[in-house]
Amino acid sequence: MIRLEGVGLHYTQGTSPGPEVLRDLTFVIPEGGFRWLLGPSGAGKSSLLRLLHLAVRPTRGRLSLLDSDVGGAGRRDLALLRRRIGMVFQDFRLLPHLAAFDNVALPLRLAGQPEGQVRADVTEMLRWVGLGKKLDARPAQLSGGEQQRVAIARAVVSRPHVLLADEPTGNLDDGQAERLMMLLKEMNRLGTTVIVATHNDGLVARHPGQALRLDHGRLVEHG
């Protein structure tokens, strides 16, 4: 379950706090829920995803994620919590010096999974996203769409409890985008809470579901 109560967030500019990018957010997403995250550019979608990915802590209010109070959690607890959250970034955020295989294997290795199991899971996942023959390719040797698929494989390979995606179809063709949506819905069906930020109205129309709509950092619609 994800629960926000009066959450606000601002980034610091030098030593002084900048303007709030998220304001008074209060909502609950039950375990296994699916939400579109909508809103114009600058509405705070990416900041909310960063908050839910525990890349930043709320500057006010209370955030509870997977039964843990983020505000009071220790650094190690937060790290262990992050392992249960998958994130697909808009800019992929792959490690350029690692092959596709090793990029996808990272979450499993961090979780201490045996190498034999890592090999099986990663190979299967990369095959599933259509990169079974590019295990050893580095990100620079892959197209934008292929890099996006590696990023998706890395986000889902550890079967996270929460999956966050920031414009995950931005670099995919329609066929790949539909395939990705199938994957997200299948994971959601198996119990993963999924939140997808997108500008793609067509995608939302083809896969209707509940939405969180932000505007100027405030939640203006939830349903």
Name the site residues for other proteins (rule: CB under 8 A).
53-57, 75-76, 78-84, 87, 93-99, 101-102, 105-107, 109-111, 115, 119, 154
To other proteins, the closest distance from the beta carbon of 222 in angstroms equals 26
37, 48 in Cβ contact below 8 A? Answer: yes
To other proteins, the closest distance from the beta carbon of 208 in angstroms equals 30
Give CA torsion, residues 121, 79, 56, 25, to 10 deg.
80
To other proteins, the closest distance from the beta carbon of 26 in angstroms equals 22
Token pair of 202, please?
């067509």
Residue with smaller CB distance to other proteins, 17 or 40: 17
Residue with smaller CB distance to other proteins, 38 or 168: 168
What distance in Å separates the CA atoms of residue 169 and residue 215, rounded to the nearest whole number?
22
To other proteins, the closest distance from the beta carbon of 205 in angstroms equals 31
Strand spans (E) along 42-161: 60-65, 68-69, 85-88
Residue with smaller CB distance to other proteins, 3 or 84: 84
Residue with smaller CB distance to other proteins, 99 or 137: 99
DSSP labels, 34-66: EEEEE--TTSSHHHHHHHHTTSS--SEEEEEET
To other proteins, the closest distance from the beta carbon of 52 in angstroms equals 12
To other proteins, the closest distance from the beta carbon of 151 in angstroms equals 10
Q: At what angle do helices 144-156 and 100-110 cross, to 10 degrees?
A: 20
Residue with smaller CB distance to other proteins, 79 or 182: 79
What distance in Å separates the CA atoms of residue 14 and residue 127, rounded to the nearest whole number?
45
* Coil, strand or helix at 197: strand
Residue with smaller CB distance to other proteins, 93 or 207: 93
Residue whose pair of structure tokens reads 């008074």 in the numeric block = 24
